Amino acid sequence: MRRRAGLRAPARVESNMRWDGDDYQKRFDDLAAKGVDVHGEVAFVMRYTPNSVLDAGCGSGRVAIELANRGVATVVGADVDPSMIATARKLAPAISWVQSDLAALDLGRRFDVVVMAGNVPLFTPDGTHAALVAGCARHVAPGSGVLISGFQLGRGYELDEFDAHAAEVGLTRRERYATWSGKVFPGDGSYAVTVHAKD
């Protein structure tokens, strides 16, 4: 039986830190080899039966690649870190990978789901969170599209700020959970997974 990961994986930093994409991916490969389920975010996203997903802050591509493996027709991964994107391209060259700061990202298209897994807002420089949310929101399809975000609480960017930034760009909170497995919020109060929709 596979164990589900209680992962609080670091996301990519938008400014002053550098990651090694291969080393980052190896952490998840090692966990998976031990029987840990590293795809809780993917299972959550699949509840929405998307045809298209933007993995915003995709890192080495773990979430995006598994979404494609599960039959999502169009998957795009975006991350600011060149090493992360290089690893993702090496692992899945058929997926579209974009190196970009999420705040500046403008692909000129909309997606059924935009997902920010892996604490992306916590690795975004202070003062740029509103721009981060706006960058993701511009890719959410009106009416049926959702922005799904998961991050740890108590680390400088809180849910009231996040909800306010989402509201500023026309997103309405629909659901909130304590874990990617759908545990009732607030749970232990350390983590939140939120679903916002664009009306």
Contact in structure between 174 and 113 (CB atoms under 8 Å)? no
Query: Beta strand pairing status for 191-198 and 171-177?
Result: antiparallel
pLDDT in tens, the chain (199 residues): 333 343 333 333 344 456 775 666 567 556 557 776 657 899 999 999 999 999 999 999 999 999 999 999 999 999 999 999 999 999 999 999 999 999 999 999 999 999 999 899 998 888 999 999 999 999 999 989 999 999 999 999 999 999 999 999 999 999 999 999 999 999 999 999 999 998 7
Contact in structure between 79 and 19 (CB atoms under 8 Å)? no
Rounded to an integer, what distance in angstroms lies between the CA atom of residue 195 and that of residue 147?
A: 6
CA R_g for the chain: 15
Rounded to an integer, what distance in angstroms lies between the CA atom of residue 138 and that of residue 131?
A: 11
pLDDT in tens, 94-138: 999 999 999 999 999 999 999 999 899 998 888 999 999 999 999
pTM above 0.85, yes or no: yes
Rounded to an integer, what distance in angstroms lies between the CA atom of residue 28 and that of residue 25?
A: 5
Rounded to an integer, what distance in angstroms lies between the CA atom of residue 83 and that of residue 12?
A: 10
The domains of the chain, with CATH numbers, are 36-198 (3.40.50.150)
